Chains A and B, each alone.
Chain A
Amino acid sequence: MNETTRLLPWAPERTGEAAPVTPAPITKPPKPARPGLGALLYLPLRLAWRQLRAERARLLSAMAGVMFACVLVFMQLGFRAALFESATALLGGMRADIFLMHPLTTASFRPEGFPRSRAYQTLADPDVVEAVPIYLAQTTWRNPADGSRRSIQLVGFDSDAGALRFDGIEAVADALKRPDTIAFDRRSRPEFGPAAAMFEAQGPFDVQLGGRMMELAGLVSIGASFGADGNAVLSETNFRRIMLNRSASVIDLAALKVRAGADIPTVVARLRATLPPDVMVMSRPELVAHERAYWENATPIGFIFAFGSLMGLIVGMVIVYQILFSDIANHIREYATLKAIGYSNGFLSRVVMGAALILAIIGFIPGIIMSTWLYGVVGGATFLPLRMELERGLTVFGLIFGMCVIAGLLAMRKLRDADPADMF
């Protein structure tokens, strides 16, 4: 019945019903056949793949080129992140809520002193429950195994105070109260000697620090940073026994603990308003960012890695461009034929972009696998925290993809040379 009413709008059945106001369209004019989405995206991609696949040697060299660019960028970005992360290992390892620092201190390895009284002034704030003065200095360490000397970072503070924590400090806090004791950073670079292993095997032993014999009474975990290859933690008193010319009233850093539940940014703002301008008040992330900014801006490290990444991308782009360009140039008659039999410029452009996309993907996959492996190998050899991270993977894929797209766009210009009028 429906069929009849549709074909015959005047059929008697209709008049009896509550007929819809507008009758359904009877017939549609036949639409000219248009290639669907499949033809728009899938067919060019497939053609690109078939063309690439046809020449194995060229495909392999393109793949190697993209992979090379990929590995280069991964290594550059990995080193960059690892270096900046390790640059701030010392400050990042300090667990406290708020820090005070002299405004002229650019990096923790070269601190500017400020009055110890500033630390205690903060206790006037109702939310600050504890303030710990910290002394920083570098001195020489004698390797307990071979006697060679290296510069080590000393961190002097009252290890009983709860405001400042390093990983592992609880176990050695009591020992550090004894005269002439230190806790050694087990993640110091290996040049400092097997001190951690020796301690674990035989217990406390004496080491030479800045010309003084000190008892290695425990281990903490901090990590080597740019400014310091190794660290030792000790009490204020013991710190001054090594650094004889340091006065107790000038400190390098102060760590504050706030009342549980207090809002740290509010406390920071309040302290900034009340303290004299000879100290900077910073939350822990701000302190780490300050240290990191020093290494990023005051050194060409950031630039070097950005430059290295860019070079990798340019080399990769040139390789991909060469491959795509010669693929078009070698098949110029075939491309012109396709134009002659009704393939649009858009379709052929999509073939070229499809080839670029395929190269990006098949180069990226071995690239990320190889980079992950290299991170492990190089990270093990350099003690840099090299890890494959999802975000970095996505970034690098984006860069490689962009690289291939630019190469594709450049190569696409060659398509103009395919003139179907030259075919006859």
Chain B
Amino acid sequence: MLAPVALHGITFAYGEGELRRPVLRDVQLDVAPGEIVLLTGPSGSGKTTLLTLIGALRAMQEGSARVLGLELAGAGEGARVALRRRIGFIFQNHNLLGFLTARQNVAMALEMQGTLDEADRLARAGELLASVGLADHTEKLPAKLSGGQRQRVAVARALAADPGLVLADEPTAALDKQSGSEVVHLLRDLAKKRGAPILMVTHDPRILDIADRIVTMEDGRIVSAAA
């Protein structure tokens, strides 16, 4: 089976000319189907940059990246937008729309699929919220939820469209120990059930136990991969 993520020779730099700063140097990385990979490393080592490249949020410069079957090098805006719909993103901040209820926020991720009608979208959003333990909070606005609850809504949103890949960048950074660990374990369980691989950037030593593999980056290079 094809690897959901296959990176080859990724090199990336910010800035132009004199100000050009290389951030990624010849990165090789594969993520196997259903695998949970944690990406760690010192600040500024290029983890977030790598994640934005894989998520098709940033244009590639050098190297080859096949994500869910799409070669990102030279891919057009339309293809990249379409790919993003098949990826579940979880950000450091929940980034929920403040004027929508938890249920509506999750349903937003389904609107772009065009396969479900409104009633089905809301029903499915309700199921997902129940699966992250928020069955009683579906009609609340994000402002009425705790930080951990909001991040769980974000997990539900990321998984709503049955993504082929989940990308998360320090999803526990804004949470206390207890709810941080709850959220990532929930994420792991749900992703495992669906067979979706996870690539997660984290500094948080408390959550390393969920990983199938831990990859460490340093100065734009992958320096070690522990199983």
Contacts and interface: CB of A to CB of B under 8 A. Distances in A.
Contacts of B99: 50-51, 53-55
A323 B115 CA distance: 34
A259 interface: no
A26 interface: no
B82 A342 contact: yes
A344 B76 CA distance: 13
Given A333-B95, A341-B89, A424 B81 contact: no
B58 A333 contact: no
Chain A interface mostly: helix
B71 interface: no
A162 interface: no
Interface stretch (A14-22, A32-40, A75-83, A172-180): A32-40
B5 to A, nearest CB: 16
A278 interface: no
B81 A421 contact: no
Contacts of B109: 341
Interface string B72-116: 000000100110111101011101111110001000110111110
A342 B93 CA distance: 18
B93 A333 contact: yes
A33 B51 CA distance: 26
A286 to B, nearest CB: 59
A331 B100 CA distance: 12
A35 B114 contact: yes
Contact of A337 (B48, B82, B87, B91): B91
A39 B114 contact: yes
A343 B86 CA distance: 12
A342 B112 contact: yes
A423 interface: yes
A33 B115 contact: yes
Counting contact residues on chain A (CB < 8 A from B), the size range is 20 to 34
B150 interface: no
A332 to B, nearest CB: 11
Contacts of B81: 342-344
Contact of B114 (A34, A337, A344): A34
Contact of B111 (A39, A55, A333, A334): A39
B48 A424 contact: yes
Interface string A88-113: 00000000000000000000000000
Contacts of A308: none
Contacts of A336: 95
B91 A424 contact: yes
B35 interface: no
Interface string B121-147: 000000000000000000000000000
Contacts of A51: 97, 99
Interface in A108-144: none
A33 B95 contact: no
A340 interface: yes
A35 B121 CA distance: 13
A343 B55 CA distance: 14
Given A342-B86, A420-B57, 12 more contacts: A33-B114, A51-B99, A333-B95, A337-B91, A337-B97, A338-B108, A342-B84, A342-B85, A423-B89, A424-B51, A424-B57, A424-B169
13 contacts: A35-B112, A35-B114, A39-B111, A331-B97, A337-B95, A339-B84, A340-B57, A342-B81, A343-B112, A421-B58, A423-B57, A424-B51, A424-B57
> What are the nearest 3 A-B pairs in CB distance?
A342-B85, A54-B99, A35-B114
